[in-house]
């Protein structure tokens, strides 16, 4: 194999090492990684804890949303029932969809990722443990408050896709809608934080030798998942922000009477909403691939085809959003294209299904609860996929769109494609984190009750839809032949709930959380998460030589446990993990990891404070929360960029690697770039909104400000870029460990100020033309883009001030500094984004 | 009467006109395909798990993925797409013809129906009921007065959204006389579940008679009277409702000029007779919570009966 980083692959032959490990090495590792106790648990950042509690929280939301659906099924058991009043029912179905999608499905797969990925990659933890903790707490606090809105009758009631103008101030004057917009917008931040973490974790912290071609399928799926989140979620964040701006400040993005368009919401929402389905499905499919392989006790058939299918699904899923909008009167060319694309996306799903079937055929199935869930899931998902092909045919969709046929379709897809694999995964991976495995007997009950319940509930709904029953109805009229079918569905929903109840009983009886005394590899799987572990993960980080290392190297577990592989102890006496190269996973450097901290929790609570206060229009309280949030975040960051006197260390086998590096090889560089992709997408989608509204309502467009000023803005932004670059060069020319003087931070601060000046010109220029954000769709989108740039610039200024503070405390020394790198890169990004944004708006010939 | 609107057979599979007909053919083919492919996948699963060793071996390689996961769906889906697009090509045509036009506006939570003349002027207004001549295509101009609604008569055609700020065109045609139920299929808040209408297809001769009758009455002074009329006016009903030829000229709610002839009340949710009229006026919030008409529960039974009696006369 060709070396990616110049690392000599011959060195791999030194492992497993043979010389004895020093006394007390393991005890030191245990001491370094030991978890806080009692109330201090809240400070824990280790993925074993955060991942587990994340899964439990997501499961609680699943149960809560499930209970809502039982309420709805009772209401629909007979025509004109009085069990739930109309407005309660409308809140119930909105919350059921919203909670299942945003508080269960996405967080659940992300939680499973946080819990399993470090183990599967044999890393000590994910690269940013505090970010995981923040993501979890933001989700738990925000999601908890959001759900509680139901108990005081303030839950949103506009349906989970919240189409304006039904959700605009005029038709939804209560704060129910703001709850949704701000609550969900906030929870998305948590999802994005997790995605950044997962991308860097997968690409940079794999065990040495685990090339891309040897990654477990779940890891591939999580990589696709995280990339898709970065591209898709900005779109939903943007549309929630725009609608909130319309509601709070009367900016008419979606108001057709003032040059806005309600369809803009649908495009933005479904650009997120369709990939969302695959964001949920792909990781679950990854779990399936791993469970299938273990159930059949044979490697997955068609590994590369499966990877190809994952990548293709991720790619195509961004091109099918408008198939949710066939009934809106789109032009024929568009419907034709989206119809074909919707068919195309079923091909990769077909590949995955047949990979699983072929794997089962090539081995001998060992029946177990996970195996049952896997086989059941293939059947259910296939049925849901086929009704999906049906609704991909436009004229057929015109008939069944927004009826119970669709309800049946997506429940088959999501339950078969996500819920069943996840329940299978609960049984499969329970042994990794519980001292006792779950019961096979109760597991079978769980499976059969859920499997039967699913079909009894949702199979009749196909027909209910054909009989003309629209979805989202709180009741239906008698004498329409719908009574019997609905009764059957209601019975089925309780059968399914009984299955979930049996699972809970099983958990109560058998699940006992543990970090180091687990039940172990109950199903004889071949991947690294089944190595013996403690809180520090594996004692040493193994060298991976195949896709199923535990099957191929029977001695691996013992050697790892005896410290015969990488990083058997701690070099610096701090938490560490090994960073490897993105493609071939060649060891590159030792990353220092932060330990327990209360600041991610504090930051999450105050972030929640900002959004909750905005919901009730308590702007002062929101601003105060914002200040505290910034303080908590900066405190959290303060200790993460540590300068350490030791520059190099032996990671085992006499291989000497640097300790923390900066620049393109470092994990922070990758994380920042991932974040920039996400923020940049928000800017791009805003520009799309501007051009889209011009296409619909060119009559309201007015001319942009004068060209001279536009040129001036461009010059200022280029100067900001230059100042950022200068700051970086300045530090690079300073000798190692030397203090470079006031130059670098001042240069960076000058860059941030230039950004602000350019923005000021941009804003005053547009207002000088008489354009108001409240006047037209043009005004609203122009000022929305400027506001987005404003947020970025404010962040840049805060970061520059933070850099100055660190410089004053002597923490800014040559020749490289992570904090400076991050600040400079961010300023550079802001300058480029400002340049593209203002040029597109100002040079666009409309008006 | 209601049994004729809905129920068995399912309206999606029971077309009553050319625009629904082809979709039904498509639906049967798609359903058959779905059942066959599900059967194939289940059979493959069975072979993979319990089948004879020789079959398992064939299925247990990458070639099975190429055949079952790529070649088979690729061919079937391509064929399906082309066949489907050809079959239903005329459904997606742009609508440019000179067919008679009816403007249907979705409002929270009922349908305003306006019959247009060739110049696009409104000649007659009605609510929650669309009259069509059998065998002749009619173009609907779908609009919304507030939020997004959706227009759907499954017997006659697929559905189409009614969007604020836009006009969507939909062509429908009934090939047999009868009453066909319709609903709003896009969630529009509150009592969305109770927002329906009826499409009534008449034989051409009957349709002409119906049209003449309507137009004739519009031209006359409304001479119906009695205590009902007086109560209707005194209770302020005219602020929202119009009755042609009287001082009631409200535009917010359904036009009641022909309310006595309508098949349904409350936007397609109740049969129309004196009893339901009384119930609706006295307790519309109980019947359809959240709708825009207040319950006139201060009126006595006798008063309600008088108003209902007068409304029944509004043929």
Euclidean distance between CA atoms B50 and A163, whole angstroms = 49
CA pair distance A691, A781, nearest whole angstrom = 9
**Which has the closest alpha carbon to B301: B273, B276, B274, B282?**
B282
pLDDT average, residue stretch A817-822: 92
Q: Does B298 touch chain A (CB under 8 A)?
A: no
**Interface contact A395-B159, CB threshold 8 A:** no
Of A646 and A290, the structure prediction assigns the larger pLDDT to: A290
**Where is mean pLDDT largest: A180-189, A337-346, B41-50, B211-220?**
B41-50
CATH of the domain at A226: 1.20.210.10
- Ramachandran category for residue B120: left, alpha or beta (phi over 0 → left; psi -120 to 50 → alpha): left
The CATH number for A747's domain is: 1.20.120.80
With 0-12 CB in 10 A as exposed, 13-18 as middle and 19+ as buried, what is A627?
exposed
Across the interface, whether the CB atoms of B166 and A256 are under 8 A apart is answered yes
Q: Does any CB of chain B come closer than 8 Å to the CB of residue A555?
A: no
Which chain A residues in 431-470 lie under 8 Å from chain B, judged by CB atoms? 463, 465-468, 470
Confidence of residue A515 (pLDDT cuts 50, 70, 90): confident
- The residues, any chain, with a CB within 8 Å of residue A445's CB and separated by 6 or more, are A499, A502
Query: Minimal Cα–Cα distance from B149 to chain A, Å?
Result: 10
Q: CA-to-CA distance for B144 and A165, rounded, in angstroms?
A: 11
Return the pLDDT at A167. 96
Which B residues in the span 30-59 are in contact with A, Cβ-Cβ below 8 Å? 30-31, 33-34, 37-38, 41-42, 44-45, 47-49, 51, 56-59
Over chain A, what is the mean pLDDT? 94
Q: Which residues of A280-314 are buried (b: 16+ CB within 10 A; e: fewer)?
A: bbbbbbbbbbbbbbbbbebbbbbbebbbebbbbbb
Say if residues B281 and B308 touch (Cβ distance below 8 Å). Answer: yes
> pLDDT value at position A270?
96
Which token pair is A433? 């984190």
At A592, phi and psi to the nearest 5? -85, 135
CB contact B186 to A (< 8 Å): yes
Mean pLDDT along residues A235-264: 95
Tell me which residue has tokens 């308590």.
A618
B26, B58, B166 member nearest A393 (Cβ): B26
CATH hierarchy code of domain B101-202: 2.60.40.420
Is the Cβ–Cβ distance between A222 and A283 less than 8 Å?
Answer: yes
Asked, for residue A817, whether it belongs to a domain, the answer is yes
pLDDT above 50 for A73 = yes
Nearest Cα of chain B lies from the Cα of A306 at a distance, in angstroms, of 10
Name residue, tokens 């001042």.
A746
- Look at residue B3 in the predicted model and tell me its pLDDT: 45
Please write the tens of the pLDDT for every residue from A786-801. 999 999 999 999 999 9
What local confidence, expressed as pLDDT, does residue B2 receive? 46
Q: CA A820 to CA A747: how far, in whole Å? A: 11
Chain B residues with CB-CB distance to A467 below 8 A: 6-8, 10-12
Q: What domain count does chain A have?
A: 4
- Gap between the Cα atoms of A580 and A571, Å rounded: 17
- CA-nearest of A577, A822, A791 to A675 is A822
pLDDT reading at A844 higher than 50: yes
| Domains in chain B: boundaries | 11-92, 101-202, 220-313
Q: Which residues of B touch A480 (CB under 8 A)?
A: 2, 5-7
- Note which residues in 107-166 of chain B have CB less than 8 A from chain A: 108, 146-148, 150, 152, 154, 157-161, 163-166
* Same domain (yes/no): A778, A713: yes
More confident residue, B286 or A330: B286
pLDDT at residue number B5: 60
Interface of B with A in 219-258 (CB under 8 A): none
Residue A554 lies in a domain: no
For residues A491-496, give the mean pLDDT.
98
Are A383 and A246 within one domain?
Answer: no
CB contact under 8 A, A479 and B3: yes
Report yes or no on A543 lying in a domain. no
What's the confidence (pLDDT) of residue A307? 97
A146 in a domain, yes or no? yes
Chain-chain contact of B65 with A467 (C-beta, under 8 angstroms): no
Q: What b/e sequence results for B255-273 when a residue is b if at least 16 CB atoms lie within 10 Å of its CB, and e otherwise?
A: bbbbbebbbbbbbbbbebe
Which contiguous run of DSSP H or E holds residue A689? helix A667-696
| Partner residue facing B159 (CB), from A163, A257, A401 | A401
Query: Are both A247 and A287 inside the same structural domain?
Result: no
Question: How many Cβ contacts (< 8 angstroms) between chains A and B?
Answer: 269
To the nearest whole Å, the CA of B279 is away from the closest chain A CA by 16
Query: Cα dist. A245→A171, A754, A773 in Å?
Result: 16, 27, 10
Helix and strand element counts for chain A (H, E)? 26, 6
Asked if residue A189 and residue A57 are part of one domain, the reply reads: yes
Does the CB of B218 have a partner CB in chain A at under 8 Å? Answer: no
Spatial distance between the Cα atoms of A296 and B8, rounded to a whole number of angstroms? 46
Asked if A364 and A507 sit in the same domain, the reply is yes
Distance CA A400, CA A710 (A): 51
From A519, A546, A572, the end of a domain falls on A519
Query: Is residue A223, in this structure, part of any structural domain at all?
Result: yes
Same domain, A349 and A377: yes
- The token duo for A454 is 């699913």
Q: Please give the helix or strand (H or E) that residue A389 lies within, else none.
A: helix A369-392
For B220-313, CATH gives 2.60.40.420
Q: Chain B: nearest CA to A315, how far in angstroms?
A: 17
One domain, residues A250 and A348: no
- Matching CATH topology for B101-202 and B220-313? yes
Per-residue pLDDT of chain B in tens (315 residues, 90 and over written 9): 344 566 788 999 999 999 999 999 999 999 999 999 999 999 999 999 999 999 999 999 999 999 999 999 999 999 999 998 888 887 777 787 788 999 999 999 999 999 999 999 999 999 999 999 999 999 999 999 999 999 999 999 999 999 999 999 999 999 999 999 999 999 999 999 999 999 999 999 999 999 998 888 777 777 777 899 999 999 999 999 999 989 999 999 999 999 999 999 999 999 999 999 999 999 999 999 999 999 999 999 999 999 999 999 998
**Cβ atoms of A466 and A544 closer than 8 Å:** no
Cα distances (Å, whole numbers) of residue B308 to B297, B301, B302 = 14, 10, 10
Q: Which range marks the domain in which residue A97 is found? A: 46-260
Quickly count: other Cβ atoms within 10 Å of residue A513's Cβ. 13
Any B CB within 8 A of A354 CB:
yes
Per CB-CB distance under 8 Å, the chain B contacts of A394 are 88, 92
Interface of A with B in 598-617 (CB under 8 A): none
Parallel, antiparallel, or unpaired: how do β-strands B129-133 and B196-202 relate?
parallel
| Tokens encoding A490 | 């209601």
CA dihedral (A706, A711, A712, A713) in degrees, to 10, reads 90
A22-61 confidence digits (pLDDT tens):
888 999 999 999 888 888 888 889 999 999 999 999 999 9
C-alpha A495/C-alpha B258 separation (Å) is 50
Task: Answer yes or no: do A221 and A286 share one domain.
Answer: no
A379 CB neighbours in chain B (<8 A) are 38, 41-42, 45
**Do A181 and A254 contact (CB within 8 A), yes or no?**
no
pLDDT per residue over A360-390, tens digit each?
A: 999 999 999 999 999 999 999 999 999 999 9
Q: What is the mean pLDDT of residues A727-732?
A: 92
Tell me, yes or no, whether A241 and A297 share the same domain: no
Sorting pLDDT into bands at 50, 70 and 90, what band is A275? very high
- Which of B79, B96, B165, B265 should one mutate to test binding to chain A, selecting the residue with the greatest count of A CBs within 10 A? B165
A698 inside 8 A of chain B by CB: no
Instruction: Judge whether B71 is closer than 8 Å to chain A, CB to CB.
Output: no
Q: In angstroms, what separates the C-alpha of A25 from chain B's closest C-alpha?
A: 47
Report the percent of chain A where pLDDT is more than 90.
Answer: 85
User: Is residue A188 in a domain?
Assistant: yes
**Is A816 inside any structural domain?**
yes
pLDDT at A211: 96
The answer on A319 and A227 residing in a single domain is no
pLDDT at A465: 95
A115 and A50, same structural domain? yes
Residue indicated by tokens 């039967």? A452
In whole angstroms, what is the distance from residue A69 CA to residue A407 CA?
Answer: 12
Specify which residues A802 forms β-bridges with: none
**Is residue A398, in this structure, part of any structural domain at all?**
yes
Residues A827, A764, single domain; the answer is yes
Nearest-Cα distance to chain B for A404, in Å, is 11
Query: First CA to last CA across chain A, in angstroms?
Result: 58
In B, minimum Cα distance to A365 occurs at B49
Q: Is the dihedral of CA A235, A240, A243, A245 positive or negative?
A: negative
State the best of B158, B188, B279 to mutate against chain A, taking most chain A CBs within 10 Å.
B158
Q: Please report the sign of the dihedral spanned by the C-alpha atoms of residue A412, residue A417, residue A423, residue A424.
A: positive
SS3 A178: helix
């Amino acid at each position: 194999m060709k070396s990616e980083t110049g690392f000599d692959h011959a060195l791999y032959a030194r492992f497993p090492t043979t010389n004895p490990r020093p006394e007390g090495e393991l005890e030191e590792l245990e001491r370094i990684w030991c978890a806080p106790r009692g109330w201090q648990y809240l400070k824990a950042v280790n993925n074993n804890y955060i991942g587990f509690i994340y899964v439990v929280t997501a499961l609680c939301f699943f149960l809560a949303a499930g209970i809502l659906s039982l309420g709805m099924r009772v209401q629909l058991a007979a025509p004109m029932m009085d069990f739930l009043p109309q407005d309660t029912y409308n809140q119930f179905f909105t919350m059921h969809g919203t909670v299942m999608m945003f508080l269960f499905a996405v967080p659940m797969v992300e939680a499973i990722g946080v819990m399993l990925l470090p183990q599967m990659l044999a890393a000590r933890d994910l690269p940013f443990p505090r970010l995981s903790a923040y993501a979890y707490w933001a989700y738990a606090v925000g999601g908890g408050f959001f759900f509680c809105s139901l108990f005081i009758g303030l839950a949103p009631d506009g349906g989970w896709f919240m189409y304006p103008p039904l959700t605009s101030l005029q038709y939804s004057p209560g704060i129910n809608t703001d709850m949704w917009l701000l609550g969900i917008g906030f929870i998305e931040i948590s999802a994005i934080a997790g995605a950044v973490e997962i991308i860097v974790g997968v690409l940079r912290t794999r065990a040495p030798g685990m090339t891309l071609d040897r990654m477990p399928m779940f890891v591939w799926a999580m990589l696709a998942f995280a990339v898709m989140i970065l591209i898709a979620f900005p779109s939903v964040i943007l549309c929630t922000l725009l609608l909130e701006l319309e509601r709070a400040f009367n900016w008419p993005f979606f108001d057709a009477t003032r040059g806005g368009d309600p369809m803009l919401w649908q495009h933005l929402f479904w650009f997120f909403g369709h990939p969302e389905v695959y964001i949920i499905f792909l990781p679950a499919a990854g779990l399936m691939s791993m469970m299938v392989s273990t159930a059949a006790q044979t490697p997955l058939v068609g590994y590369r085809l499966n990877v190809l299918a994952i990548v293709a699904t991720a790619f195509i899923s961004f091109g099918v959003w408008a198939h949710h909008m066939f009934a809106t009167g789109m032009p024929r060319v568009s419907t034709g294209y989206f119809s074909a694309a919707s068919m195309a996306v079923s091909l990769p799903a077909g590949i995955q299904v047949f990979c699983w079937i072929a794997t089962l055929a090539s081995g001998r199935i060992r029946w177990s609860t996970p195996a049952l869930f896997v086989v059941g899931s293939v059947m259910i998902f296939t049925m849901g996929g086929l009704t999906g092909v049906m609704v991909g045919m436009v004229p057929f969709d015109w008939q069944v769109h927004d009826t119970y046929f669709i309800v049946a379709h997506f429940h088959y897809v999501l339950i078969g494609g996500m819920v069943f694999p996840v329940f299978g995964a609960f049984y499969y991976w329970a042994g990794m984190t519980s001292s006792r495995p779950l019961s096979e007997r109760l597991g079978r009950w769980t499976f059969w009750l859920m499997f039967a319940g699913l079909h009894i509930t949702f199979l009749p709904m196909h027909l209910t839809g054909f009989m003309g029953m629209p979805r989202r109805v709180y009741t239906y009229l008698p004498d329409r032949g719908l009574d019997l079918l609905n009764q059957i569905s209601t019975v089925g929903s309780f059968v399914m709930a009984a299955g979930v109840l049996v699972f809970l009983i099983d958990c109560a009886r058998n699940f006992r959380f543990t970090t180091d005394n687990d039940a172990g590899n109950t199903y004889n799987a071949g991947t690294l998460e089944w190595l013996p572990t403690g809180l520090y993960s594996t004692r040493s980080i193994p060298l991976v030589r195949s896709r199923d290392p535990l099957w191929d190297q029977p001695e691996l577990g013992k050697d790892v446990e005896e410290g015969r592989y990488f990083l058997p102890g701690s070099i610096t006496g701090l938490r560490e993990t090994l960073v490897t190269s993105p493609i071939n996973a060649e060891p590159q450097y030792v990353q220092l990891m932060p330990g327990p901290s209360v600041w991610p929790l504090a930051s999450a609570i105050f972030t929640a404070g900002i959004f909750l206060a905005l919901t009730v229009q308590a702007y002062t309280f929101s601003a105060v929360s914002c200040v505290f949030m910034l303080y908590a975040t900066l405190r959290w960051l303060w200790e993460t960029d540590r300068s350490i006197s030791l520059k190099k260390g032996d990671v085992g086998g006499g291989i000497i690697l640097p300790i923390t590096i900066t620049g393109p090889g470092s994990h922070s560089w990758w994380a920042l770039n991932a974040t920039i992709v996400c923020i940049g997408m928000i800017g791009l989608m805003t520009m799309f909104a501007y051009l889209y509204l011009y296409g619909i309502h060119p009559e309201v467009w007015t001319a942009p400000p004068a060209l001279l000023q536009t040129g001036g803005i461009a010059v200022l932004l280029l100067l900001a870029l230059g100042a950022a670059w200068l700051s970086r060069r300045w530090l690079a020319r300073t000798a190692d460990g030397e203090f470079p003087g006031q130059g670098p931070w001042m240069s960076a601060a000058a860059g941030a100020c230039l950004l602000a000046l350019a923005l000021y010109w941009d804003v005053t220029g547009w207002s000088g033309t008489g354009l108001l954000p409240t006047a037209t769709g043009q005004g609203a989108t122009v000022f929305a883009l400027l506001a987005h740039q404003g947020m970025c610039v404010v962040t840049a200024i805060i970061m520059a001030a933070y850099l100055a503070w660190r410089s004053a405390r002597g923490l800014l020394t040559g020749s490289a500094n992570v904090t400076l790198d991050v600040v400079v890169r961010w300023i550079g990004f802001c300058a480029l984004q400002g340049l593209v944004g203002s040029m597109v708006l100002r040079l666009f010939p409309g008006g | 009467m209601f049994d004729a609107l809905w129920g068995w057979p399912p309206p999606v599979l029971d077309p009553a006109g050319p625009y629904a007909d082809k979709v039904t053919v498509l639906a049967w083919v798609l359903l058959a395909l779905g059942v066959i492919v599900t059967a194939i996948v289940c059979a493959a699963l069975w072979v993979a798990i319990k089948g004879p060793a020789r079959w398992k071996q064939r299925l247990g390689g990458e070639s099975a993925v190429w055949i079952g996961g790529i070649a088979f769906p690729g061919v079937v889906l391509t064929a399906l797409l082309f066949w489907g697009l050809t079959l239903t090509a005329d459904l997606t045509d742009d609508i440019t013809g000179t067919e008679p036009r009816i403007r249907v506006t979705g409002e929270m939570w009922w349908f305003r129906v306006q019959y247009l003349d060739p110049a696009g002027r409104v000649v007659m207004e009605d609510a929650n009921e669309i009259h069509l001549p059998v065998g002749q295509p009619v173009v609907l101009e779908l609009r919304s007065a507030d939020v997004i609604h959706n227009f759907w008569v499954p017997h006659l055609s697929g559905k189409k959204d009614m969007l604020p700020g836009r006009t969507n065109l939909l062509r429908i045609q009934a090939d047999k006389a009868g009453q066909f139920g319709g609903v709003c299929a896009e969630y529009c808040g509150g009592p969305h579940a109770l927002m329906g209408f009826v499409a009534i297809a008449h034989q051409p001769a009957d349709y002409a008679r119906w049209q003449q009758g309507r137009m004739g009455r519009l031209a006359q002074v409304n001479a119906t009277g009695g205590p009902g009329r007086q109560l209707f006016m005194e209770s302020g009903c005219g602020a929202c409702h119009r009755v042609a030829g009287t001082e009631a000229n409200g535009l917010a709610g359904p036009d009641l000029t022909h309310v006595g002839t309508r098949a349904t009340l409350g936007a397609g949710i109740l049969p129309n007779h004196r009893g339901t009229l009384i119930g609706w006026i006295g307790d519309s919030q109980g019947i359809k919570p959240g709708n825009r008409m207040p319950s006139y529960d201060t009126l006595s039974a006798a008063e309600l009966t008088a108003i209902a009696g007068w409304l029944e006369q509004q043929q």
